[in-house]
Amino acid sequence: MTLARALLHPAAKPAVFVLSLLPFAWLVYGAFADRLGANPAEYLTRSTGDWTLRFLCLTLAVTPVRVVANLPTLARLRRMLGLFTYFYVVLHFITWAWFDQGLDLSEMAKDIAKRPFILVGFAAFVLLTPLAATSFNRAVKALGAKRWQALHRLVYAIAGLGILHFFWMRSAKNNFAEVAVYAAILGVLLGWRVWNRSRRMSVGAVRSTASR
């Protein structure tokens, strides 16, 4: 069975769904089994943030891989991966709000205003919310294809804010190795989009000139 056919198999989406839940299942197990280290709250916050970035990278990788590898069926997984990005960022927000701020709204507001990396991370979370809320077919029809596409281009700004959030968080420990890896991956994925868009515009301009 080819990869293209495997992606069309009825079990493909459930399999990706289960795989995407495995990090969450491990964190739940680790919490109940007391296997999250000396500081479980920090471990949960860090892990959910890491998985948010990983799923963001996977979501943004769908289109380049689909085009380069000629796998149009891969597109059917993009929405699910995007929603799992939001799932993990919600968990990341909850762990910070619960363990770090005690679900105290006034303290949360103060922390957001006081610490730039929290402000940037919160901004990314807020911007990602309408993308998750409009990731369904009815939303596409209600907004119209052009407005829906314009809204979902916010993902590029979200990616930048996510990397900045991670950078500022790690700057306190002067540890930028992981930041560089995620920045490089997202840089390549976003750079490919710029290149592909420029290429298509150039091809379109040539065809338009040739048809005159």
Mean pLDDT of 119-147: 93
Q: Give per-residue pLDDT as tens, 3-60.
A: 778 888 889 899 999 999 999 999 999 999 989 888 999 999 999 999 999 999 999 9
Residue pLDDT, tens place only, 134-153? 998 889 889 998 899 999 99
The pLDDT tens digits for 167-203 are 998 887 777 888 999 999 999 999 998 888 888 777 6
Cα Rg for the chain, rounded, in angstroms? 20
pLDDT of 87 reads 97
Where do we find the tokens 């700004």? 157
Q: What is the pLDDT of residue 65?
A: 93
pLDDT on residue 126: 96
Question: What distance in Å separates the CA atoms of residue 162 and residue 157, rounded to the nearest whole number?
Answer: 9
Kindly report the number of other CB atoms within 10 A of residue 7's CB atom: 18
Nearest to 89 by CA among 48, 59, 126: 48
212 pLDDT tier (thresholds 50, 70, 90): low
pLDDT at residue 188, rounded to an integer? 93
The DSSP line for the chain is --HHHHHHSTTHHHHHHHHHHHHHHHHHHHHHTT-S-S-HHHHHHHHHHHHHHHHHHHHHHHHHHHHHTT-GGGGGGHHHHHHHHHHHHHHHHHHIIIIITTT-HHHHHHHHHH-HHHHHHHHHHHHHHHHHHT-SHHHHHHH-HHHHHHHHTHHHHHHHHHHHHHHHHHHTTT--HHHHHHHHHHHHHHHHHHHHHHHHHHHHHHHHHHT-
Confidence of residue 206 (pLDDT cuts 50, 70, 90): low
Segment 77-82 shows an average pLDDT of 94
pLDDT of amino acid 209: 60
Instruction: List Cβ neighbours of 112 (8 Å cut-off, separation of 6 or more).
Output: 118, 119, 122
- Maximum alpha-carbon separation in the chain: 71
Residue 81 has pLDDT above 60, yes or no: yes
